[in-house]
Structure 1
Amino acid sequence: MSYDVTDVGNACVRTLSKLDYSSNNVANVNTPGFKAEYLNYSVEKSSPTTSDKVPSYAQSLFTDYSQGTLQRTDNSLDFAIQGEGFFVLQSDNGIAYTRKGDFTLNEKSELVTKSGDYVLGKSGKIILDGKDIHVDQSGSIQVDGNQVDSLKIVSFENPEVLIHKGEGVFKDNGNGVVKKDFTPNVLNESLEASNVSAIKEMIQMIDIQRTFETYQKLIHTISDQDKLSTGRIGKLV
């Protein structure tokens, strides 16, 4: 199989795209509830298989939903989910989901994310107007000894269809299937740490950079060969 500069250039672009995701993982190594993302490329089934043609590639994004370490914070507005599940949010663009449980209160004493999205309970927006806030493992919320609501937490049969919109917030692409009879395990005054392994990501970034450098050298080699061939043809003419 022969490659030209365009083919190798496309390989460079794919490599840089993978590097972008690894870099983003490293940047979020200390972000609560962050889930590592990886960009993969595979040869399309319909791609040509003859030796004289370059195959085409399909891009896929994989999100690692494995559990991050649970850390005690002693902040009554911090929440972590042990096991599967997502907190349900009401954003300006509709319903969203997150594992990032470092919540706060707005001026109306409503529970919100740091970016202002409403954290939903089973009765809608959650109002925590009191001093003593307690949430049990099921997500039931008590304020000054009175139950006011329960955190709305859902789990998906197919979480791979969720789309990461940034800031640890996910949206359903319309194909998500919510599990029935799901019972969450909530930890109050705790946060789930990012599941990114800094060492693993740094090793992967080094490998990606080396691959990119190899492609760059190949481009220079192809360019030099083209110039040599053009020069020979010129002499023959």
Structure 2
Amino acid sequence: MQASLYVTLSAQMALEQRLNTVATNVANLGTAGYRAEEVKFETILSEAGGREVAFTTPGETFLSRKAGPLIKTDSPLDVGVQGDGWLAVRGPGGPVYTRDGRMQVTAAGDLQDLSGRPILDPGGSPLTVDPEGPPITIGQDAIISQGTNQIGALGVFRLDPAAKLTRVAGGAVASDRPGQPILDFNQRDATTVRVQQGFQEGANVNPVMEMSRLIEITRTFQNAAAAVAETESSLQDAIRGLGPSA
């Protein structure tokens, strides 16, 4: 009986973790470049009364690699990345990566993201433009030009599929493995990466799916709570039955 109680409680802990990820995803539906959180659950086995009992661990969160939709903005300082590429900005401890391609230019000509972090080139150096120069154009190969002058290139990086991504401030992610700069944009296969000026990437969150998950989690949690209450009631009955008779 206690084993069933522990199993139910472990399920409730896992459901709470799922609920937190759903709430985070729904709260970021309008966040540019946001990558949804997912949860990977594991089951562990334990011996109870001579038989195996399966327990669900609370689960480990990870970030979805699925791309969000590209939304047309027509702003020359907005870029969206098609394919599995990430822009790089300078974080406190080194480069961090983002799919939010909304940029700004300071009075000194520094190219920054909307959080004020320097945008990096393929070599990891901050980019600068002429704040008084012609309009900025950015090619699909990430080359930045002003008029006829090529002034640099956006750093677009590919992250190792096995890398652990950790969310940091400003919608970016830190990777436990350094990103590799993409230098050849002429590949014509599943790994093709393109930079689209005048677009921004929306969140890769499906609101209908997240609301369906929320309803499912709520119902399952209610069922688990009812099972816990029933088990506790049975335990109390058993204890009373073992007590001294009048």
Range class of TM-score, shorter chain: 0.7 to 0.9
In the alignment, the residues of structure 1 paired with residue 184 and residue 175 of structure 2 have an alpha-carbon distance, to the nearest angstrom, of 18
Moved more, 56-65 or 146-155: 56-65
| Equivalent residue, structure 2, for 1:225 | 234
Kindly state the Cα deviation for residue 8 of structure 1 after the two structures are TM-superposed.
Answer: 2.5
| Equivalent residue, structure 2, for 1:104 | 104
Alignment of 1:1-237 (within 5 A): 3-44=3-44, 47-48=45-46, 51-55=51-55, 57=57, 59-122=59-122, 124-128=125-129, 129=131, 130-158=133-161, 160-174=163-177, 178=180, 182-183=184-185, 184-236=193-245
Unaligned stretches of 5+ in structure 1? none
Kindly state the Cα deviation for residue 9 of structure 1 after the two structures are TM-superposed.
Answer: 2.5
The total of aligned residue pairs comes to 234
The letter for the 1-side match of 2:199 is S
CA 1:24–1:213 in 2, change beyond 3 Å: closer, same or farther? Answer: same
In the alignment, the residues of structure 2 paired with residue 58 and residue 173 of structure 1 have an alpha-carbon distance, to the nearest angstrom, of 23
Deviations 1:83-122 (A, max 9, x none): 1100011111211101111122334331212222211013
Contact 1:139–1:150 (CA<8 Å) still a contact in 2?
A: yes
Deviations 1:5-42 (A, max 9, x none): 44423321211111111111111112111122211212
Contact 1:96–1:170 (CA<8 Å) still a contact in 2?
A: yes
Q: Secondary structure at the match of 2:3?
A: coil
In the alignment, the residues of structure 1 paired with residue 184 and residue 24 of structure 2 have an alpha-carbon distance, to the nearest angstrom, of 32
Kindly state the Cα deviation for residue 197 of structure 1 after the two structures are TM-superposed.
Answer: 0.8
Contact 1:96–1:172 (CA<8 Å) still a contact in 2?
A: yes
The letter for the 2-side match of 1:141 is I
Unaligned stretches of 5+ in structure 2? 186-192
The letter for the 1-side match of 2:115 is S
In the alignment, the residues of structure 2 paired with residue 213 and residue 15 of structure 1 have an alpha-carbon distance, to the nearest angstrom, of 10
TM-score normalised by the chain length of structure 2: 0.84
In the alignment, the residues of structure 2 paired with residue 140 and residue 228 of structure 1 have an alpha-carbon distance, to the nearest angstrom, of 75
In the alignment, the residues of structure 2 paired with residue 55 and residue 191 of structure 1 have an alpha-carbon distance, to the nearest angstrom, of 43
Kindly state the Cα deviation for residue 60 of structure 1 after the two structures are TM-superposed.
Answer: 3.3
The letter for the 2-side match of 1:205 is L
Identity, % of aligned positions: 22
Q: Secondary structure at the match of 2:243?
A: helix
CA RMSD, 1 decimal:
2.5
Contact 1:102–1:191 (CA<8 Å) still a contact in 2?
A: yes
In the alignment, the residues of structure 2 paired with residue 26 and residue 116 of structure 1 have an alpha-carbon distance, to the nearest angstrom, of 26
Q: Secondary structure at the match of 2:180?
A: coil
In the alignment, the residues of structure 2 paired with residue 135 and residue 12 of structure 1 have an alpha-carbon distance, to the nearest angstrom, of 50
In the alignment, the residues of structure 1 paired with residue 65 and residue 79 of structure 2 have an alpha-carbon distance, to the nearest angstrom, of 17
In the alignment, the residues of structure 1 paired with residue 56 and residue 210 of structure 2 have an alpha-carbon distance, to the nearest angstrom, of 27
Deviations 1:109-166 (A, max 9, x none): 3121222221101361111223411111101111243211100111124255322235
TM-score normalised by the chain length of structure 1: 0.87
Contact 2:90–2:117 (CA<8 Å) still a contact in 1?
A: yes
